[in-house]
Homo-oligomer: A and B are copies of this chain.
Amino acid sequence: MTAGTAAGLARRTRAGLAVDLVVLTVRDGALTVLLVDRGGGPFRHRWALPGGFVHHDEELEDAAARELREETGLHATDLHLEQVRTYASCGRDPRGRVASVAYLAIAPDLPPPTAGSDASDARWVAVDRVGRLAFDHNTILADGVERSRSKLEYSPLAASFCPEPFTIGELRGIYEAVWGVRLDRRSFHRTVCGVDGFLVPTGERRTSPTGRPAPLYRRGRAGALRPAIPRPSPGGHRDLRETGRQQ
């Protein structure tokens, strides 16, 4: 589009342009999201996703990185940031039409955030303990979580949850927390090590008070996981296929 006659130009819709962030990490074995207590505006003192209006001449992704920095001190170079989708329902913001572009940010576990300019408080909350949020943020959160769950399978996203360098065991903990399943330690090891470009061994090892020292890894360059890390099917295994019969 963006087709427009002179008449079309005159009556074209203008809307507020904002970004909202679904910042996920794994803390204590649970998938966790960063929430802020809104300091002002509508839904004051409601919990919400961090975010804010895009500045003039500012790219969406830069706005997302800026909000992240302002609210958490995180720098976008350290983490994965991707667009999820846009929410622009007419009634979603009482101040008027606002189109909010949601971004998913994946970060290693971090210290509790400090409240920023737009928030009176900020904290990490396990995604299954999140209450009613401001605006349509419960929907945005659900979409972000769903996106991260499915991308774990075929993208190297899981490694973005780990502070580098990390062990295979820590990586497995990410998969278990995000998917909410238990994975076989031995099969998992072989599977991830068999994915070309996923993990790069540092040559170092981490010794721990318990167990054999584990080799350390960094994120590799692979953009997609081939083969994928199989996600256990929730309903168990399929039984025999029934071939479709006609008449």
Contact = CB atoms under 8 A, between A and B. Distances in A.
A83 B86 CA distance: 8
Contact of A40 (B4, B15, B57, B244): B4
A238 B49 CA distance: 42
A222 to B, nearest CB: 13
Contact of A1 (B49, B89, B194): B49
Give the interface size class of chain A. 35 or more
Given A15-B14, A17-B14, A2 B55 contact: no
A100 interface: yes
A30 B36 CA distance: 49
Contact of A51 (B2, B93, B199, B215): B2
A119 B194 contact: no
Interface stretch (A5-13, A157-165, A172-180): A5-13
Contact of A13 (B48, B55, B118): B55
B53 A193 contact: no
A226 B85 CA distance: 25
A118 to B, nearest CB: 4
A4 to B, nearest CB: 4
Nearest to A240: B194
Contact of A2 (B2, B12, B93): B93
Nearest to A18: B1
16 contacts: A1-B50, A2-B41, A2-B93, A3-B39, A3-B41, A3-B48, A8-B118, A9-B41, A9-B95, A11-B53, A15-B15, A15-B99, A17-B99, A193-B244, A203-B247, A226-B238
Interface of A: 1-6, 8-9, 11-21, 36, 38-42, 48-60, 67, 83, 85-86, 88-90, 92-93, 95, 97-101, 118-119, 134-135, 190, 193-194, 199, 201, 203, 205, 215, 226-227, 233, 238, 241-244, 246-247
Given A3-B38, A14-B14, A54-B88, 19 more contacts: A1-B51, A1-B100, A1-B135, A2-B53, A3-B36, A5-B40, A8-B52, A12-B18, A13-B18, A13-B53, A15-B54, A17-B99, A59-B88, A60-B86, A60-B88, A83-B86, A86-B99, A215-B247, A226-B238
